[in-house]
Structures are given as C-alpha cells and as structure tokens.
Amino acid sequence: MTVTAEAGEQRQVEFGDGSTVRLVGASTLSYSPDMSTAEERRVTLARGRAYFDVVSRDGAPFVVTTPAARTEVLGTQFGVAAGTDTTEVVLVDGQVRVGPDEEDEAEPVVLAPGERSMVRKGDAPTSPTPVDLTATLDWTGLFVFRAVPTSAIAEQLRDHYGVSITVAPALANEPVTGTFERGQPVEQVLNTIARTLGADVRREEDAYQLEPAS
C-alpha cells in the first residue's frame, strides 16, 4: 500500500495493528497491509515528513526505512523527516534505535525521549542531542509537550492563539505532558491542562487564567 500527501496536505493513516501515522506533504509512505500479524512491521518513507504513534507488540519490531536511515522501535511516538540524502528522527516517547541504511555497517544510536539524531546517506548517525519537541515537531500541526512547565506552555499558547493567558504562581512550575492539535480552540487545550493539574480555568473576554482549584 502506498499513501501520498501532497504539498500543504496532511493525511492520517491507521495500520492494521492500531498504530497510526500523520503524513505531512509532500510525503510518500509505503507499508504492508498485514501489520497486525507480521513478525516485523515495516514501512518505507520515500520522502517527506511523518509522525508515528506505534502500538507495542511483543516480538514484532516496527521499522521505518528512508533513503538514508533505518529506525527501529517497539512502542513509541516519534517524528521522521526524510530527504534524498538525509533523515532526521525526533523521539517523543519510548525508545528508538537509529542507524544508517542497511548497506552501511556504521553503529546505530539509541534515542531517549526529547532527543534527535540526523543521518546523512553513507555516514553514521549523529550523537543524540536534546531538542525542544514543540518547536522541532512544529510541522506535525501538533503541540507536543513532555514534562514542560505550565508557565512555558502558557507562553507558547499565547503566541499561537493571540490571547492573554496567565498562570497562578502555585502552578507555574508544574510539569505537563500532552499532545494537542494546533487547530483546537484554546479553551479546550486549557481545560485539558487544568484537569491534568487539578486546576480551574477562569475567563474574562479574551483573557484566561489557570488557578488552583477552589
């Protein structure tokens, strides 16, 4: 099966095992339809960008191949950006092993959440480096927060939605983990964050405040 997302388009694909991928154009992905039973679940990203949410299956690794690299996972969320000669892998959750294409014998690297590696065709992967997930995965159309202080999240939401958002001092350093569609209304995002923190959202016109629950 081959799926293509044209330039400026996003496509969501659910595989037979329940794993999903969000393709961001211009991108081309090929996969086998027997993902729920295959001993090795393999997809090929020929070009473009893809954000994967992989369901763990014992003894059945999930492998993403690109023109420059091979990424193997068990159950995780991660982004892959593939060009003709380079591949970037950014890990959100879980663990992935990033190596060169199968013709190259260079040692792979293992990423921890919040890390990135680049692979240039014919070269070994770069050492894992920490990144700002939300900024690095901006192309997904998602806010990706992993243990981010609430005050920092409020700042990013203010910039995106153009509204006033303040956070009570007692909540400012509380870490939040979550993934949100950038097209969601700001109130939905804030209400979800508030439930996570056991907090309340107060609104006055276009101004919002996160406060400890009363």
pLDDT in tens, 137-184: 999 999 999 999 999 999 999 999 999 999 999 999 999 999 999 999
Match 């003894």 to its residue by tokens: 59
Quote the number of domains for the chain: 2
110 and 151 in a single domain? The answer is no
Domain span at residue 151? 141-212
Q: Is the CB of residue 13 less than 8 Å from the CB of residue 21?
A: yes
Instruction: Tell me the torsion sign for CA atoms 182, 187, 190, 196.
Output: negative
Q: Is the CB of residue 131 less than 8 Å from the CB of residue 154?
A: no
44 and 108 in a single domain? The answer is yes
At 91, the amino acid letter reads L
pLDDT in tens, 102-116: 665 778 899 999 999
Q: Which of 98, 133, 168 is the last residue of a domain?
A: 133
Q: Which of 109, 133, 157 is the last residue of a domain?
A: 133
58 and 128 in a single domain? The answer is yes
Residue 103 is predicted with a pLDDT of: 63
Alpha carbons 69 and 212: distance in angstroms, whole number: 47
Q: Which of 133, 168, 183 is the last residue of a domain?
A: 133
Which helix (H) or strand (E) element contains residue 186? helix 186-197
pLDDT in tens, 14-66: 998 899 999 998 999 999 888 888 788 999 999 999 999 999 888 888 999 99
114 and 151 in a single domain? The answer is no
CATH code of 35's domain: 2.60.120.1440
Alpha carbons 195 and 188: distance in angstroms, whole number: 11
The whole-chain average pLDDT of the chain stands at 92
94 and 148 in a single domain? The answer is no
167 and 204 in a single domain? The answer is yes
